[in-house]
Amino acid sequence: MADTSNGICDLHVHSIFSDGLLKPDELVRRAHQAGVKAISLTDHDCVTGVQQAEAEARSLGMGFIPGMELSTTFKGTDVHVLGYNMDVTDKSLLGFLERFEAARFSRAEKMVLRLRDQGLKIIFDDVKDVAGPGPIGRPHVAEALLNNGQDNNFDEAFMFYIGRHCPAYVKKYELSPREAIEIIRAAGGLSVLAHPLVGQTGEGGVAEIVEFGLDGLEAIHPLLTQRSRDWLEELAVEKGLIITGGSDYHGDGRSRVDLGIIEVPFEFANRLMNMHKVQSPKPKVQSPLP
């Protein structure tokens, strides 16, 4: 079991700038009230909430690490790569995220048209309302369908309409884990594979992605079994990687665990807080987007 005698941290949470329910400052306050000593905001494909979260964390005397969670595709499966400690004002990072967001926006518009072709009652504004500020993803589309009474539950929306191979699915711009690692590194950040072994990637896939230049593995996450965690910790030792952990909190009713429950040692944050990728000179990343 992890040693949490110095307190706990939470290095994976989502705000309204992706698919979470709370504003960044509210989220940080809630975490503080729940006894979390350091936090990283890791919105999907977005760093817009980072400065607000950081200001709140500083005023509460909490540790803070800038973060994000990039969506990538590896051999046809969704793989998430966490970035920590990037310079969130880095021009090429922000330029990339803007283009990624624009691509997601038009993809969501296309999905809505296809859903309407399927006879479902949905307009793009419904999806935009659910998504709020920040990039639009399929979970927002699923929730809009649910709100309109067009499916029985969230999973069925994926099963029948917007899952891969379903009629209203539209491919998104596909970023590879290797490109995500490069984007994070170019902004001075560290890349960590989010919830590895959850989904279809498997041990072989994780081992392959590690070789693309990852800095760490998220070994503590509500969806990870003890067996997976042991395997990840062993791999981290073998490959000299850091380990991280977090709740993946998205707000009440959208999360598997509440804030302050998952036991991630404060030391994990402490180690990360002053770790940046040392770069000299900073590599120029070719944007993978047009």
Chain residues that interact with Zn ion, rule: CB under 5 A:
14, 19
CB of 172 to ligand AMP, least distance (A): 5
Q: Binding partner of residue 194 among Zn ion, Fe ion, ligand AMP, none, CB under 5 to 8 Å per kind? A: Fe ion
Q: Interface with ligand AMP includes 172 (CB under 6 A)?
A: yes
The reply to whether 137 sits near ligand AMP by the rule CB under 6 A is: yes
User: Which residues touch 7 (CB under 8 Å, ≥6 apart)?
Assistant: 35, 37, 266
Could you tell me if 34 and 269 are in contact, meaning their C-beta atoms sit under 8 angstroms apart?
no
Q: Residue with CB nearest ligand AMP?
A: 137
Choose from Fe ion, ligand AMP, Zn ion, none: what does 156 bind? Cβ within 5-8 Å by kind.
Answer: none
C-beta of 42 vs 228, nearer to Zn ion: 42
Is there a contact between 248 and 255 (Cβ–Cβ < 8 Å)? yes
Contact call for residue 288 and ligand AMP (CB under 6 A): no
Q: How far is the CB of 221 from Zn ion (least distance, A)?
A: 12
Query: Using the rule CB under 6 A, is 71 a contact of ligand AMP?
Result: yes
Q: Which one of 132, 163, 222, 260 is in contact with ligand AMP (CB under 6 A)?
A: 163
Residue 57: CB minimum distance to ligand AMP, A: 26
Q: Quick check: 130 and 147 in contact, CB under 8 A?
A: yes
- In whole angstroms, how close is the CB of 287 to ligand AMP at the nearest point? 19
Asked if 224 contacts 198 with a C-beta cutoff of 8 angstroms, the reply is yes
Q: Distance of CA 211 to CAs 83, 103, 198, 214, Å?
A: 17, 28, 19, 7
Choice between 78 and 233, CB closer to ligand AMP: 78
- 96-120 burial, b for 16+ CB within 10 Å, e for fewer? bbeebeebbeebbeebbebbeeeeb
Residue 179 touches which member of Zn ion, Fe ion, ligand AMP, none, C-beta under 5-8 Å by kind? none
Rounded to whole angstroms, the maximal C-alpha distance in the chain is: 56
Q: What is the contact surface with Fe ion in residues (CB under 5 A)?
A: 69, 80, 194, 248
**Interface with ligand AMP in residues 74-113 (CB under 6 A):** 78
Long-range contacts of 140-149 (CB under 8 A, 24+ apart): 140/19, 140/108, 141/108, 141/111, 141/112, 141/115, 145/115, 145/120, 148/120, 148/121, 148/122
Q: Which residue's structure tokens are 């910790």?
A: 233
Residues contacting residue 59 through CB under 8 Å, at least 6 positions apart: none
Binding residue (CB under 6 A) for ligand AMP from 12, 23, 138, 221: 138
Binding-site ranges for ligand AMP (CB under 6 A) = 71, 78, 137-139, 155, 158, 163, 172
